[in-house]
Amino acid sequence: MYDILIIGAGAAGLTSAIRAAQRGKKVLVIEKMDRVGGTLAITAGHLSGASTQRQFNAGIQDTPDSHYDDIVRICRNTMDPIITRKAVDLASSTIDWLTELGYSFHDRSPAIIHGHEPYSTARTYFGKGDVHPRIQEAGQTILHLLLPLWNEQVKSGNIRLFTRCKLKQIMVNKNSVVGVVAEQGDHEFTFTAQHYLLTTGGYASSPSFFENFTPGISRLMSAANPASTGDGIKAALQIGAMFHGADKQMYTLGGIELQPGSGRINFWEAWARMSNSIDRKQREIYVNIRGERFMNEYDWSVDQRERAMMAQPQKKCWILFDHRSLCDGDSLVPQWTTDQMVQESYREQAVWQAASIRELAAKTGLPQEVLEVTVAKYNESCAVGFDSLWGRTYLEHPLASPPFFAVLVYAYALISFGGLQVNGELQVVMKGGQTIDNLYAAGEILGAAATSGQAFCGGMLLTPAISFGKWLGDNL
Ligand SMILES: Cc1cc2nc3c(=O)[nH]c(=O)nc-3n(C[C@H](O)[C@H](O)[C@H](O)COP(=O)(O)OP(=O)(O)OC[C@H]3O[C@@H](n4cnc5c(N)ncnc54)[C@H](O)[C@@H]3O)c2cc1C
């Protein structure tokens, strides 16, 4: 009999398996893909936590209370207070643990990061190589830190792993899980253990989850791990678990659908930097499907920008700029040089180029007259240095030097906000409020809204995934 059955081997599952096995527990892990790591293969890997050794060394005064208060401020108190409290309290030991394991932090971290609504203190951590264009390695850096510990426990026999093995059903008798049914190829197995831990991640790659639980989404655009299909949530729902938070879904800015109709955004291949005006001055204007501007493109608040974009029909807009703006350096799409942007415009799939605004409207399908008025008004604002429409203060780039360009971008799902309700011990809570004695959950399966509310709070998904996995591994 295994002590713990862990379902899903991403950040939360790997960490809990390692920590439990290090205590001599017999751990069985089932993973539906052919390798472990889950979303660690693609995550940006930003972590956040207060009162860490690194902050202490840098003379930064910070506390879990301040971290908590910042989260409350950023998400307007829409997170789960018990789970968030636990997450901020555990975060420093997680980051210190990674430090002890040899994680080579970037000299600049901890820092205040502006990719999400900024914290008031430098408490976001990232690795040495984790700066553009190598930021993609961030999660992999964490994975490579965990793998030797994992391999050691697999070798010792404390961890047994089944890959390509997919959870189908949880079996419950009275108040306990008595087994799970999983399939591996054509074979079906029933696995049993003393404790069961659901770490199957989120559902941000599942259009049907969004159709069923998230109002107002016409077509899901996703940059999530394709394996994030909410399997663990589905199995838990079948036994009466409480699911909440999907209505708090937030979307990330600047997704470029390189293959129209695919619904997929590759965050690392191409994304438009429209999430803040601090890391990059926004020279462009944004127009919605009506051809109208809908926000101050120079707004400093990431959160305001996200909300403005999410309110647009189909959560999409066109980013418009002229040739001078294109050639000014500091590319809108960091993966593309000026020449690549021009090449993309020849494909006419995600980027278009035209000699006039009228022609650009014809090519993109935007209403011609409205678009011409929008651009004329914006150019007038640039001439007088005052934007009466949206109050934009950075007005140095009128759309005046042809050719003109339009990039079609979407607000897209990177992570899912809905998830299983758990109590302070991370036990899964049923719809009637009772818990199942031996069923626990950790990681994105809890939903981003649990620790981030209806907003993006930097590092508040990956850090709790590792912290909660670690805590369960230490305590079950
Ligand atoms: C591009 C990107 C960037 C991100 N950047 C950040 C960031 O900077 N900071 C941050 O805090 N968060 C970030 N996130 C979110 C964060 O990385 C994830 O929430 C976190 O890694 C999820 O860890 P997890 O262990 O819960 O799930 P996962 O890592 O997704 O692991 C779940 C595992 O379960 C397996 N599984 C699924 N279904 C089954 C089944 N039926 N049976 C068996 N196994 C199954 C999956 O194959 C997978 O291996 C980002 C996410 C993305 C996509």
The model's pLDDT over 414-458, given as tens digits with 9 standing for 90+, comes to 999 999 999 999 999 999 999 999 999 999 999 999 999 999 999
- Structural domain boundaries in the chain: 2-203+415-475, 252-412
Q: What is the pLDDT of residues 81-108, one digit of tens each?
A: 999 999 999 999 999 999 999 998 888 8
Bridge partner list, 2: 193
Across 51-55, 89-93, 106-110, 394-398, least confident range: 106-110
Q: Which amino acid residue places its CA nearest to atom 51 of ligand 1?
A: 43
Q: What is the pLDDT of residues 307-335, one digit of tens each?
A: 999 999 999 999 999 999 999 988 999 99
Residues sharing a CB contact under 8 Å with residue 29, sequence separation 6 or more, in sequence order: 5, 6, 7, 9, 13, 17, 36, 159, 160, 161, 162
Report residue 252 as tokens: 């990330």
Phi-psi region at 59: left, alpha or beta (left = phi > 0; alpha = psi -120 to 50): left
Ligand 1 pocket by Cβ (under 6 Å):
7-13, 30-33, 38-40, 42-46, 166-167, 199-201, 223-225, 227-228, 231, 267, 414-415, 443-445, 459-463, 465
- Mean pLDDT confidence for 44-67: 96
Reply yes or no on whether the pLDDT at 217 is more than 80: no
Reply yes or no on whether the pLDDT at 134 is more than 70: no
For 162, counting Cβ atoms within 10 Å of its Cβ (0-12 exposed, 13-18 middle, 19+ buried), the class is middle
Domain 252-412 class, CATH top level: alpha beta
Query: What does pLDDT average to over the chain?
Result: 95
Q: Which amino acid residue places its CA nearest to atom 17 of ligand 1?
A: 43
Output the CA 70–ligand 1 centroid distance in Å.
24
Amino acid 67: pLDDT: 98
Output the CA 372–ligand 1 centroid distance in Å.
44
Distance between CA atoms of 20 and 469, rounded to whole angstroms? 10
Nearest of 310, 436, 475, 418 to residue 80 by alpha carbon: 418
Amino acid 70: pLDDT: 98
Output the CA 137–ligand 1 centroid distance in Å.
15
Output the CA 379–ligand 1 centroid distance in Å.
44
* CATH architecture of the domain with residue range 2-203+415-475: 3-Layer(bba) Sandwich (3.50)
Handedness of CA 14, 94, 72, 297 (dihedral sign): negative
Reply yes or no on whether the pLDDT at 136 is more than 70: no
Q: Which residue has the tokens 């009772």?
A: 434
